[in-house]
């Protein structure tokens, strides 16, 4: 009976963790001392290269000004059919008069950084527009799911 309860609890935790995940990552690397977000967009290595807009959209919790050594960074999302429900779990919000990124974050129980990163290229928190439509993750589920991801070594090179 003890093992059944433990198994049931583990299964429930796994389901809850999956239900509150952001994108499902296919390939990731870990931040090293020399890594910068700028290098990710400037490297000539095809596996490591990702533009800044995509980098922070996929990894909304990534703070390029405060990187942690060993932190995982997703560069490729697994868009296979089995993950569609998770990857497509996005809602929209129409900005109203007096909204700020901070007030929207508070309203949805998230952080300004996550909203700004998730809407990179579409939202400027310093110049927010009424009636602008932004994307949000319901239930604040911005954390990338790395459970099925393959790790590789980030390679910065200027040679093709």
Which pLDDT tens digit goes with each residue over 119-160? 988 899 999 999 999 999 877 788 899 999 999 999 998 876
CATH of domain 90-140: 3.10.350.10
Domain ranges of the chain: 1-52+61-89+142-160, 90-140
pTM of structure: 0.77
DSSP string, the chain: -HHHHHHHHHHHHHHHHHHT--PBEEEEEE--TT--HHHHHH---TTT---HHHHHHH-TT--TTS--TT-EEEEEE---GGGHHHHT--EEEE--TT--HHHHHHHTTS-HHHHHHHTTTT--TTS--TT-EEEE-GGG----B-TTPEE------S--
Residue-wise pLDDT tens digits, 58-96? 999 999 999 999 999 999 999 888 887 777 788 899 999
């Amino acid at each position: 009976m003890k093992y059944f309860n433990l198994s049931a609890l583990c299964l429930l935790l796994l389901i809850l963790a999956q239900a509150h995940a952001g994108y499902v990552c296919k390939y990731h690397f870990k931040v090293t001392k020399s890594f910068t977000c700028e290098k990710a967009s400037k490297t000539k290595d095809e596996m490591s290269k990702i533009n800044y807009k995509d980098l922070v959209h996929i990894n909304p919790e990534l703070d390029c000004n405060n990187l942690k050594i060993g932190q995982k960074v997703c560069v490729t999302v697994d868009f296979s059919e089995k993950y569609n429900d998770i990857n497509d779990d996005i809602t929209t919000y129409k900005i109203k008069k007096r909204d700020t990124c901070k007030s929207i974050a508070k309203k949805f129980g998230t952080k300004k950084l996550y909203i700004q990163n998730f809407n990179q290229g579409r939202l400027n928190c310093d110049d927010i527009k009424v009636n602008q439509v932004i994307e949000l993750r319901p239930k604040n589920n911005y954390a990338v799911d790395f459970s099925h991801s393959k790790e590789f070594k980030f390679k910065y090179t200027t040679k093709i």
